[in-house]
Amino acid sequence: MIVEIKVPSVGESITEVTIDSWSKKEGEAIERDKTVAVLESEKATVELPAEASGTLTKILKKSGDIAQVGETIAIIDTDAKPTVSATQPAPPPKEQKTAEPAKPKAATPVPPKLPAPAKAAPPKADAAVTPPPAEQPKAEPVKETKAATEEAIAPQAAAAPVEAGHDEEIVPMTRLRRTIARRLVEVQQTAAMLTTFNEIDMSGVIALRKEHGEAFQQKYNVKLGFMSFFVKAAVDALKLVPEVNAEVRGDDIVYKNHYDIALAIGGGKGLVVPVLRNAERLSFAEVEVAIGDFARRAKDNKLKPEELQGGTFTITNGGIYGSMLSTPILNPPQSGILGMHNIQERPVAREGQVVIRPMMYVALTYDHRLVDGREAVTFLKRIKEAIEAPARMLIEI
């Protein structure tokens, strides 16, 4: 029986995908529900399982090709016997390896020949022009001689950057990276972005983690990190300033009565922003478990498209990379994004004295079409108050 492998729906409004890679070759056996290909959409990388066991008889779309949702990209024959075994892929790589080195060997003799003419004429330009005069005595027309001169110069000009050490590698943008680039440009053109800053004394959170961190990990099998505090603080601040949790939709303002916090995470193929649904209902442990799960699956490109949609507010932590201060860019159509940064010990004034405290700069970028400066400052001040006195989040004051 012939079974067609078709591109499934991988998310709302997504009509096409890029074939990232095939896990099987033509003629190789495939088992039902085993990954046969990896698809890359605008929002995520998705593994495509085989719908039946059999032999992969035909691959209609190669790696790098674009395919439409619903399009047939391969064929499985459930009755055919495999012509390539799972242990047989070894020979093709060997043939490719022997073929590939042959090219460099053919290319390597070329550079040694270039310096030889250069001894007679040190400047490269002279060396490039020298061959044409040798052709002119052959009674060729002037136009043909000029063309021959240009042809002689062109290959040497192309090789010049390599000789100068200016190596380049051209790699096509992945669909995910193209989408990230497009959305970042679009939001700067459509939203009135403005950023306000504040600084937070992290002493309270650090002390709380030190006191309860070990018991927390033993009970929930996950570390008590900083992000869960900021997620809970963000929910608290969003309740106080609902404009930051809203969005502009045409000429209307849409206020959200739920708090789906998106968390910017560096994935295997770029930045991804999975969403923590109904964060207001989650405990600190549930937040930490979810964040850890997102981070692991993001590295393996196994986040689902639906997990990257529908956030109402975003938190990004540049501090894990050592960033001291930045102005994060909005994640449309959201109206606010909170930027966390590196914790550094700095001298600060406390009760008339200078003391050293672990301080973090925080930034709130917001859409000024919807959020005024007063609301933005109030929001960030609430974040500061919640983090500097973390116990208040537990009693909701």
Q: Residue 35: which H helix or E strand, with range? A: strand 35-40
Dihedral angle sign, alpha carbons of residues 22, 23, 24, 29: negative
- Evaluate whether the domain defined by 2-77 bears CATH number 2.130.10.30: no
pLDDT digits (tens, 9 = 90+) for 126-139: 444 444 444 444 44
Q: What is the pLDDT of residue 139?
A: 45
Instruction: List, by residue number, the catalytic residues.
Output: 368, 372
Q: What is the DSSP letter of 9?
A: P
Ranges of the chain with pLDDT below 70? 11-13, 43, 86-165, 268, 395-397
Q: Which long-range contacts (CB under 8 A, 24 or more apart) does 165-170 make?
A: none
Q: pTM of the entire structure?
A: 0.67
Q: What is the pLDDT of residue 138?
A: 46
Q: What is the pLDDT of residue 364?
A: 98
Is residue 58 a contact partner of residue 83, using CB atoms and an 8 Å limit? no
Q: What is the pLDDT of residue 165?
A: 52
Using alpha carbons, select from 372, 182, 335, 366 the residue that is nearest to residue 248.
335
Q: What is the pLDDT of residue 283?
A: 94
**176-395 homologous superfamily:** Chloramphenicol acetyltransferase-like domain (3.30.559.10)
What are the counts of helices (DSSP H) followed by strands (DSSP E) for the chain?
Answer: 12, 19
- Structural domain spans, the chain: 2-77, 110-163, 176-395
Using alpha carbons, select from 278, 301, 300 the residue that is nearest to residue 290.
278
DSSP helix/strand/coil, 338: strand
Q: What is the pLDDT of residue 267?
A: 73
